[in-house]
Structure formats: C-alpha cells, structure tokens
Amino acid sequence: MKEFVKGLFEKNPILCYLLGLCPTLAVTTNVVNALTMGVSVIFVLFFSNVIISLIRKAVPTQVRIASYIVVIATFVTIADIFLQANYYEISRALGPFIPLIVVNCIILGRAEAFASRNGIVPSMLDALGMGTGFTLILCLMGSIREILGSGTLLGFKAVPAFFPQFLVMILPAGAFITLGLLVGAHQALKMKYKIK
C-alpha cells in the first residue's frame, strides 16, 4: 500500500521529481485531453512495470535500457492504435503526444528505479500510484487552465458570464504559470506538515 500512496502526493512524479513535463505542459489545455493522456500513461506504466519486473532477472545489464524501451514502445503503440480505433477525435487532438509517451521519463524512470529491482506486486502498485499521481496533476492543471482560459469545464460553461477569460492560460505560458504555482503549493504543504 505504501508503494501506491507515495506516488499520489509525497513523491508525486510531476510535483516532486518534475518528470514528464512535456505532456504536462502541452496537453493540459482542457480536462478531456489531460484525462486521456493520464489514463494512457497509467496503462503503459502499469503493463511495462509488470513486464519489466517479470523479466528483470533475464535482462542482460548492458542492454537493459534498450530492452525497457522495446517493452514501453510496444504498450505505447497498443494504446495509440486503441485510441485511433475507438476514440478517433481525442486521438487527433492529442496528435503526436501519445506516441511520445515512449520517451516520457516517468515510465523509463520507474522501470529503471523501481520495477527492475522489485517484485511484480510492488511494481504494479508503484505504477498505479505514480500513474494516478500523474493523472491527478494533469487533470488539476487541465481544470484550472480550462476554467480560467476558456471558461468551461469538460466542455460545459463553468463560470458566470461576467467572469473574464484569460487567453494566456490556454497558451504555453499559462501552463508554466500553473505548474509553477502547483509545485510551490506542494512544497509549502510538505514544509507545513514536515513530510520529507
């Protein structure tokens, strides 16, 4: 259980390690994109962690990174094909960011730092925790940017008509501002409750 919970807040991959920032900044212009991205990452992270944990004793150390990448790329391609077949619109909106999960450092990072050293069950929990932590922050950023930038949430009107819309929030600068404030808030909370 410890392995699951740590990814949510204490060792959140985005807020704590600043990993996987490319999708974090790029696809969080609205909640649906953020959620799809998050779920795809959970899927890829979960299965690649399981497989890598299973084969960890057979992998020759010299080519371990290459082997991990093959495993990760396989699952990313499955996710990409699945989205293209069943959620075509979302797949087009996310464009190249789904194939780019291959190089998302959260996944390679967890493979190298955790799955290659631990058994299957802890690796599963680790993947689910880290993936959920990633998805939560993505959705949080997506909500903040969608409400402030477009005045909607999940496509529905979310603010009263007099409320202004800040275009900057759906532009890249808005992503950096939101992320910076979230990282700051995360650190402040940790300091306050003295979590290392």
Residues near other proteins (CB under 8 A) are 26, 58-60, 62-63, 66-67, 70-71, 73-74, 77-78, 81-82, 84-86, 88, 92, 95-97, 99
Q: How far is the CB of 33 from other proteins (least distance, A)?
A: 13
Instruction: Spell out the long-range contacts of 107-112 with Cβ–Cβ below 8 A and sequence spacing 24 or more.
Output: 107/41, 107/44, 107/45, 107/48, 107/72, 108/65, 108/68, 108/69, 108/72, 109/13, 109/17, 109/19, 110/45, 110/49, 111/48, 111/49, 111/52, 111/68, 111/71, 111/72, 112/64, 112/65, 112/68
Q: How far is the CB of 101 from other proteins (least distance, A)?
A: 13
Residue 12 gets the label, from left (phi > 0), alpha (psi -120 to 50) or beta, of beta
Rounded distance between C-alpha atoms, residue 127 and residue 143, angstroms: 24
∠ CA 150-156-161, rounded to 5°:
60
Amino acid identity at 123: S
In the bound state with other proteins, the residue whose beta carbon lies nearer, of 58 and 161, is 58
In the bound state with other proteins, the residue whose beta carbon lies nearer, of 12 and 33, is 33
In the bound state with other proteins, the residue whose beta carbon lies nearer, of 85 and 161, is 85
∠ CA 1-179-122, rounded to 5°:
15
Q: How far is the CB of 81 from other proteins (least distance, A)?
A: 5
In the bound state with other proteins, the residue whose beta carbon lies nearer, of 18 and 70, is 70
Q: How far is the CB of 58 from other proteins (least distance, A)?
A: 7
Q: How far is the CB of 159 from other proteins (least distance, A)?
A: 27
In the bound state with other proteins, the residue whose beta carbon lies nearer, of 66 and 121, is 66
